[in-house]
Amino acid sequence: MGEGQGDLQNWHEFLKTIVRAGYRRSDMISSRIGLLYAYTFYLMGKYDYRVEPYALRNIVARWFFMTSLTGRYSGSYESVMEEDLARVSDAGTAEKFMETLDGVVRSTFTDDYWSITLPSDLTTAASRTPGLFAYYAALSLLDARVLFSNMTVRELFDPAQHAKKAALERHHLFAKGHLRKLGIKRRREVNQIANFALLEWPDNVAISDESPAEYFPRYMKRFHDEDRAQMVYWHALPEGWEEMQYDDFLKARRVKIAHVIRDGFAKLGG
């Protein structure tokens, strides 16, 4: 095999690692620098430390999930990358290489991170934010179904989906028209990421500007009790959310989204 072919094969194998982390589409990658640095560690693990392929895929998937969610290589990332490279350069063995990466992941993902830092980071209306993409990745890892659907997030995030109309749409749980009636009009309030859920586009169109108290009970009648409980968990819906004050709903849902991200990450092992 030629050198170019080998490089291409390595890249394709690495991309399987990113899919293993739950990031199934290129538009879920918020940092290309983070992607390239994860590839650097993948190559080090493969060639410098001869890490067994299955173990290498898992540890690099965990590493990428952590760096992507936390924005580890955003801003002045050069010094952080130098420190990370220094940590693994003297690892010596495959086991030590994996222990070093996993140690950084564990020291980053503390209980306070999941319960305090991440919910705070989710207080944003930015459409491209690491927390939102990590939530989508977690839903894929948990084999979650789309809200009000029997289709899974993973199936509808398949890059092979090329329909003119997107299979999935981001749905305002508290619709813009409904919020307008409540006097909430500022885009930053209406478009909080905690106000979005993934729906198949026909359901999104049908719901339109109905209040949650109107549409939620109607759509949940599609499912049995066990399926309803799963749906509520996957989509981080606080109990009685459809009747909550909007600000209270956002605060409660951010915490639950963080829990789902944590549970999805746990599927990566370690």
| 144-170 per-position pLDDT tens digit | 999 999 999 999 887 665 444 456 678
Which pTM does this prediction carry? Answer: 0.93
Q: Report the pLDDT averaged over residues 230-253.
A: 97
What pLDDT is stored for residue 141 in this prediction? 97
Q: What is the pLDDT of residues 86-106, one digit of tens each?
A: 999 989 999 999 999 999 999
CB 42 within 8 A of CB 14: yes
pLDDT at 252 > cutoff 70? yes
Average pLDDT over residues 251-264: 98
Report the pLDDT value the prediction gives residue 170, as an integer from 0 to 100: 86
Domain holding 46, by residue range, is 3-108
Summarize pLDDT for 38-73 with one digit per residue, the tens.
999 999 999 999 999 999 999 999 999 999 999 999
Q: Tell whether 158 and 59 lie within a shared domain.
A: no
Check whether residue 135 and residue 234 sit in a common domain: yes
Residues 134 and 104 both lie in one domain = no
Are 34 and 127 contained in the same domain? no
Q: Are 132 and 40 part of one and the same domain?
A: no
Q: With cut-offs at 50, 70 and 90, classify the pLDDT of residue 200.
A: confident
Residues 209, 178 contacting (CB under 8 angstroms): yes
Cα(3)–Cα(143) distance, integer angstroms: 37
258: burial class by Cβ within 10 Å (0-12, 13-18, 19+)? buried
How would you label 139-163 residue by residue, b for 16+ Cβ within 10 Å and e otherwise?
Answer: bbbbebbbbbbeebbbbbbeeeeee
